[in-house]
Each structure stands twice: as structure tokens, then as C-alpha cells.
Amino acid sequence: MVVTGAIAWSACGPSPGDSGAPRLSFPFVNSYDGALLVPLNLITIVSQTQSGDAEFLFGFSSGIGASAWWKRLAGEYSLGPASATANLMGPPITGDMTDHDVYDYITSVVTANGGPARNGNSLYLLYLPAGITVIEKGVPNTDCEKFGAYHAEYGTRGDNLAVVQQCGGADPRDSMTAAASHEIIEATTDPDYQSYALPRIAPHAPWTESIWNAYDLTGQAELADLCEGTYYLEGSYYYQRIWSNVDVAKGGDPCAPELAEPYYDALLAQDWYPIEAGQTLSIPIFGWASSGMASSWPVDAHVASANTGFTATVGGDGTLRVDETSSVSVTAPGDAPSGTFAVVSVDGERPMTTTPLTDAAHINYVGVYVP
């Protein structure tokens, strides 16, 4: 059974050097059925359309198993070794692709190369060229509006496929390897959607459970989902950092590999707050860092709700610092019926300009509901 840690004032913190402000525990993510892709066989596919990126992307896959990133996570989650079994070039991709098209393309490339065949612990990773989008339920994922990548079951033996869409940025290749690392670890640790993930959102009254179960309004957040926005540079490649139960237990930065810098966040006193239709509610947020941090950092708030009309704004000058209290103001629509709810992501952003894809954002969540 997937179990989360209690969302309550942390019993293990703050420790000496912390701000002294009360803070929330992060959830522990346990495996329901123990399914893993081990030892991982990674098959990477790049189309001839983006042949100029092939050497870089194949080099990323070839180095996964020896990377400090993989070794840190493999040790915690019992993943064992990872091998780049094959790097394959496929025919040009010239049009947007549905999930079915992706499945067929991967199958045709593997067949044309004589394998590697599915064996129950393989991940087939496909990179899409610039300008090509995934079509989900008939709607193109233009500019990566819905997602940058995903993984899915591939066949009946337990294997997975993963697709990385090119989303732009200062160097699209950096974004692609970061997104690929996200899917590699999630496919390996949750290949059947019943392993390392938080529970699904409750079908009724989700405000009676942990706010983390309402992630993205669906729940079932996986290990990489919980660390989106924080990255790790190793050699020439960017990886996404990944949720660590070990680090959660320490009461500091919950993402791994660990960084030699403070982890800062906007923390909240409780998961859910009642709100009346048409009301504007001010929710306190507390500035906290895992170690000394003199500068303030920008804070932003975004609303996710199945019902339109909820809004959220950060008070003051839109920044926060250690030991400082600010607020997020949430307004419910005037016609919001009983049972309506919204999840607000409170994003602590990097307080200074650095190279792209560094430890860029730390996210926390709070919810409101109409009784």
C-alpha cells in the first residue's frame, strides 16, 4: 500500500541553523506492489529529422548507469545497474503523433534493427524533433502546454516506453535530457502505475486527505513529479532531481542528488482551508531555508481547479525571506457550489539569475474548498 508521511508540523525540525519557523512535513512515497524495471535496459531512439542531436542524446543515455545521479537514486530505491542497451536511429518524423503513432513508430524502429526485444525490464525512450507535438485525446500538446514528456506501459511484460517532446528554452537539448531523466526514473520506479507514487485524489471530499494526494487534480504523483523545477548538472548533461524519502526523513531538502546550497521554500500551517463562495481568503506563508540564506526569493501562486473562477495572488512585494511571513490571497467565484475546491501551488523561485536549469524552483501546495 502506498503510504504518505503525516502532513503536520515536522517532528524532526527545525534543527539548529533552521529558521525556527514551524514547517510542514513532506510526504513519504512508498511502493504499493514493488514493481521496478531492474536491471534497467535503456533503448534510445532518435529520428533522422534530428540527427544533429543524436550524438549528444545517445551520449546522455550511454552515461546514465555510471552517473552520480543514477547511483544516488539506485542506492535508495534498489534499482541496481542501468545499461544503454541500444541507441537507434529511426526514419524522419514529419507530423504530430498520437499515442498510437508513438507505439507503432517505436515498434517499427526496433523491428527494423532486429531488437532489442522487450524483456520485462526495458525502457524505450523516443525523442521527438522540434515542431512535432504529441496529440492527446485529439488535442495537440502545443508548446508543451500539458507536459514535456511521459512514460507508459509498452506491451504486457512490464516494459515501458517514454516520449520526450522538444519544448524550447535556451538550449533545447538541456531541457530534453532533464525531461528524459524525469521519465527514466519514473518508468523504472513506477512501471505499472502501482509502485512508487502517492495515492490518487479522493473521489469525494479530497480536503479530508493530504494536499499532496491532490497533485495536478488527479493525484498519483510520482517521484520526479514532486521535484519538478529543481535540476542537477553533471558533466555536460542536466538531470532532474528526484524525491528522496531519505532526505525527507532528515527534514531538509527533499530532492536528490543533494546540492551544496540552501533549500528554501514557502511553508504553510495546514493543508486545506474552508472558503465561502465569493470570499477572498488570506493564507499565511512562512519563509524557511535548510541553512543560512540572506537574500529574499520571488514567490508565485498558481491555481488548479476543475471549476473556473478561482484566483490566487501573493501578498506584499511578491517575495519571501527566511523568518518572514507573507500571504497568498485566494478568491472563490461567487457561484461556487458546495464541494468545489482548488489546489494552489506556491512556487519559491530562484532568487538570482544563474545558468539555465539550475535549482530553479521549490513548490509547495495548499488547498481551499467550499463546505
pLDDT tens for 9-37 read 232 333 323 333 455 568 999 999 999 99
pLDDT single digits (tens) 173-219: 999 999 999 999 999 999 999 999 999 999 999 999 999 999 999 99
Q: Give me the amino acid identity at 109.
A: V
Q: What is the pLDDT of residue 357?
A: 58
Nearest residue to 107 via CA among 122, 96, 117: 117
The CA distance from 214 to 306, in Å, is 12
| pTM for the predicted model, two decimal places | 0.91
- Torsion on CA atoms 292, 347, 71, 34, rounded to nearest 10: 130
Q: What is the pLDDT of residue 355?
A: 54
> Can you say how many angstroms the Cα of residue 88 is from the centroid of all Cα atoms in its chain?
27
Q: What is the pLDDT of residue 247?
A: 95
Q: What is the mean pLDDT of the chain?
A: 90
Q: How is 98-146 classified by DSSP, letter by letter?
A: EHHHHHHHHHHHHHHTT-PPP-SSEEEEEEPPTT--EEETTEE-GGGSS
Looking at residues 334-360, what average pLDDT do you find? 82
Residue 326 has pLDDT above 60, yes or no: yes
Query: Rounded to the nearest 10 degrees, what angle do helices 172-189 and 68-77 cross at?
Result: 20
Q: 227: pLDDT confidence band, cut at 50, 70 and 90? A: very high
* Residue 222 contacts residue 191 (beta carbons within 8 Å): no
Q: 307: pLDDT confidence band, cut at 50, 70 and 90? A: confident
Query: Rounded to the nearest 10 degrees, what angle do helices 51-63 and 172-189 cross at?
Result: 40
Q: What is the pLDDT of residue 5?
A: 27
* Residue 348 contacts residue 263 (beta carbons within 8 Å): no
* Residue 259 contacts residue 232 (beta carbons within 8 Å): yes
The CA distance from 296 to 68, in Å, is 31
Q: Go through the domains of the chain in sequence order and give each one's CATH number.
A: 40-189 (3.40.390), 254-369 (2.60.40.10)
The CA distance from 56 to 298, in Å, is 34
The CA distance from 126 to 86, in Å, is 12
Q: What is the pLDDT of residue 169?
A: 75
Residue 137 has pLDDT above 80, yes or no: yes
pLDDT single digits (tens) 241-254: 999 999 999 988 99
